[in-house]
Structure formats: C-alpha cells, structure tokens
Homo-oligomer: A and B are copies of this chain.
C-alpha cells in the first residue's frame, strides 16, 4: 500500500502513530502532511526510516495513494476540523482513510457519503468489536510466554519497545508476535483492539481475548501496554491490560529526563524504581510478574549522555536497560525471554 500520513502541527514528536508506521509498518509512505513543516523531509527528523517529503496538505501529494492515515492522536482523541479538507480530498480520490480517533470518521455524514460515492473505505481502528465480555482471568494459562511493556507515562516508548523487542526476538529465531492494544500498533499489525476505546468493564476481557488468540499462533507474545499506572487519566486502561494479559514478565519504559506527566504538568512522575515496585505489587495478587528489563527513550540526549542515562536507569530499576532505538533491543532479550 502507498499511504500519506496526516500529522499537522505534530510531526514528529506528537505524532507517534506517524512515526510508528514509518518505523515498523510495511506500507510505502509517499508523504507526511504537516503544514508547519512543509518543504522539510521525514529524514530531517526521524532516523532509520525510508525518506519522504513533508507537505502542507493532501493537494500537494501528486502521486496516487491507496490510503490516508491519520498519524496524530491528540489528548482526548477528537477530530480536528482543520483536517477536513485532507480527509475529504483523500476520499474524493477514492483513497481509504484510516484513523484511530475516539470520534469515528465513519460516523461523519460528509465522509460517509464521500466514501460511498467514490468506493473508498473508512477504517476507524478504535471501533471495538461488538461481542466483548468481562475477563475470565485465564490469560495466565496460555502456552505462550507473555511479556508486557509498561511505562512511567504515556508516550514513553511502550509501542516502540514492543515492536523492537519482537523484531529482535524474531531475528534470533524466536517465534514472537505483537499484541497491539492501541491505534498505532493496530495500524501496523492490521489487527488488534484499541483497549482505551472499549467499555471499561470489558477492557481486561478484550486483552485476555487477544492474548488467547495470539498465543495459539506464537511462542512468545509482546503485549503493547498503554498509559501508566499512576497516570491521572489513563491508569484504568493500564491496570486493565496488566490484569487482563496476566504477563510473565514486564519491561518498564521511561522517557529520559521527563519528571512530570505529559499534559499534566502538576503531576510529578515517581522515580522509576518506585514505579517498577508499584507495577509488581499491582500484578502480584492476580498474576505475579517482575520488571525484568528497562527501555529508556533517550531521543533528547546526545550519545554520551544517552549512555550514562541508560546506565543510571538500569541501576534505578535494578535490571538491564537500553534505548532500543538508539542502541540495540537484543541486549534485553536474555532477561525478557527469561533466560537469566
């Protein structure tokens, strides 16, 4: 598939879906739409991905595309009306529109009509299946080993770490798969349930179902965590995933230097070691799991500072750590796969 990615005013730092697709997706990205960076290039901002131009809107994309993907997820997950011309333009070309917003584009009258007229499809990745149920508390019984990424905040690297670890494990010959729980993971994998969009009572049940289904296919599952257990808005989703997945081991993700919750500057982030202990205490009564490794997002540091930060982080959580993007996720595999 040839896709354009909408990321207005957010690329790359507040466009994690865009970056995730660039980094882990199979689709060819022909352009990124960000009106504040028109004329720049993807590689000016993100390393180790295929390059593409950044343009100010869909009208500037001359190549044919199969789909426009909404690659930003604002807090609250709403649709920004300034994106309407781009979505309209894609549908008028007959291109599909893929979005992971809380508000469903398929429910928008104009978009639904345009999709119908031009034979395009609107895929709302967060729309949950309609047959979800409460968890049976049985995910711990699956045959596969289950590793869950957890974080000290949202946007701390859980999705990235999940994919990096799965790739590294596959490269080592391990039959590993990803269980995506958010819109970016779903966009990359082509399946999954956006747990944050599920009826709260069914959130753990949705995760349990995905773990059971994926466990029939793989030996090791990397479950993408969401939010953080001490997040003022998203901790419920985090807890539902922890208890729904009943993982064997946890990988704690943290953004180097971040000391307050993203978007909630009045809520400080606890020291990573306390955070690890909190996840372990919370897991213990339902399905005990230890933080066996750490993933540190060192994007904002230079190489020297990054190395030092990783070392300090490993000390703080008393487990091996790395930055899986800057350094090598494979370093964590022995701990993550339970070999040590």
Interface residues of A (CB under 8 A from B): 75-77, 102, 133-137, 195-201, 203-205, 229-240, 242-244, 246, 261, 264, 266-270, 274-275, 277-278, 281-282, 284-286
Contact in complex: A137, B243 (CB < 8 Å): no
Shortest Cβ distance from residue A260 to the other chain B in the assembled complex, whole angstroms = 11
Contact in complex: B75, A236 (CB < 8 Å): no
- The 10 A-B pairs of least Cβ separation, nearest first, read A236-B240, A137-B232, A230-B285, A196-B201, A135-B233, A239-B239, A236-B236, A134-B233, A200-B203, A200-B200
Contact in complex: B203, A236 (CB < 8 Å): yes
- In the complex where A201-B196, A267-B286, A282-B229 touch, is A237 in contact with B235 (Cβ < 8 A)? no
Total identical chains: 2
CB-CB under 8 A from A281, the residues of chain B are 277-278, 281
CB-CB under 8 A from A275, the residues of chain B are 285
User: Which one, B200, B246, B264, contacts A198 given CB within 8 A?
Assistant: B200
What are 7 of the A-B contact pairs (CB < 8 Å)?
Answer: A135-B232, A197-B200, A198-B199, A200-B240, A204-B236, A236-B240, A278-B281
Contact in complex: A240, B232 (CB < 8 Å): no
Contact in complex: A205, B230 (CB < 8 Å): no
CB-CB under 8 A from A246, the residues of chain B are 232
**Cα-based distance from A76 to B134 in the complex (angstroms):** 6
Contact in complex: A236, B233 (CB < 8 Å): no
Chain B: CB-nearest residue to A239: B239
Contact in complex: A264, B137 (CB < 8 Å): yes
Contact in complex: B233, A229 (CB < 8 Å): no
Contact in complex: A236, B200 (CB < 8 Å): yes
Other A-B contacts than A199-B200, A201-B237, A278-B282, 15 sampled, CB-CB below 8 A, are: A102-B199, A135-B232, A137-B266, A196-B199, A199-B199, A200-B203, A200-B236, A201-B234, A230-B284, A230-B286, A232-B244, A235-B240, A236-B240, A236-B243, A277-B281
**Cα-based distance from A200 to B229 in the complex (angstroms):** 14
**Cα-based distance from A217 to B150 in the complex (angstroms):** 39
Shortest Cβ distance from residue A132 to the other chain B in the assembled complex, whole angstroms = 10
Contact in complex: B230, A235 (CB < 8 Å): no
Shortest Cβ distance from residue A131 to the other chain B in the assembled complex, whole angstroms = 11
CB-CB under 8 A from A274, the residues of chain B are 285
Contact in complex: B229, A204 (CB < 8 Å): no
Contact in complex: A201, B102 (CB < 8 Å): yes
**Cα-based distance from A196 to B133 in the complex (angstroms):** 12
- In the complex where A236-B243, A267-B285, A285-B270 touch, is A201 in contact with B135 (Cβ < 8 A)? no
Shortest Cβ distance from residue A257 to the other chain B in the assembled complex, whole angstroms = 18
**Cα-based distance from A196 to B282 in the complex (angstroms):** 20
CB-CB under 8 A from A235, the residues of chain B are 204, 239-240, 242-243, 282, 286
Chain B: CB-nearest residue to A246: B232
CB-CB under 8 A from A137, the residues of chain B are 232-233, 261, 264, 266-267
